[in-house]
Amino acid sequence: MEVSFIKSAFAESHYPPPDRPEVAFAGRSNVGKSSLINTLVHRKGLAKTSATPGRTQSLNFFSVADRFYLVDLPGYGYAVASREAKKSWQRMIDIYLSHRDNLKAVVVILDIRRDPSKGDVELIQWLKEYQRRVILVLTKSDKLSRHQVISRAQSIGEELKSISEDLPTVFSAKTRQGREEIWGKIIQAAEIEGLPVHTL
């Protein structure tokens, strides 16, 4: 699978042309967003991971098979940054999510070990208001037992069912659990034909 970094954007004028479907990734700064993206595309260092939460400060666009874009959004929550910087990131994300016509879905990433935060719930509600499709992913499943994973997934799904129609997909970057299911949802949401999951 051909995957390439296209560009980083800080404003609408920096976005690549809206000439193909787009799927964005959003989540708290410590939730494993970059690891999820890297696992999906079989590239260790495509999306930059860091021990310091909040290092992603721009919208990063990646081209997949010259057919669609994946977009890594700045994390929220634990980011080590000034209040003004965080406000700037929020404005940037709000403009992107509300104005980008070719955006087909947003992958909202949650840590399966944690209850959804106020920020998580507000993001999902905001996306629902703007009629953006939500794909829920619960990361770090390898940190729990199989029984705990089932229990936590059911609990989180129940808590969010009033604001999201999507049932959470359990994922682990370590075991790759959930990878094909997530790709299936992305392909369906982006309406990409002729791109079987097993080739990705």
Catalogue all structural domains in the chain, each as residue range(s) with its CATH number: 3-192 (3.40.50.300)
**Cα R_g (the chain), whole angstroms:** 16
**Residue 88, Cβ neighbours under 10 Å: how many?**
15
Per-residue confidence (pLDDT) for residue 45, from 0 to 100 = 73
Residue of higher predicted confidence among 56 and 159:
159
Per-residue pLDDT at 40 exceeds 60: yes
Please give the average per-residue pLDDT across 61-87, as a whole number. Answer: 77
Per-residue confidence (pLDDT) for residue 85, from 0 to 100 = 60
Residue type, 99: H
End-to-end CA gap in the chain: 6
CB 149 within 8 A of CB 141: yes
pLDDT band at 74 (very low <50, low <70, confident <90, very high): confident
Please give the average per-residue pLDDT across 36-44, as a whole number. Answer: 91
- pLDDT tens per residue, range 169-197: 999 999 999 999 999 999 999 988 766 66
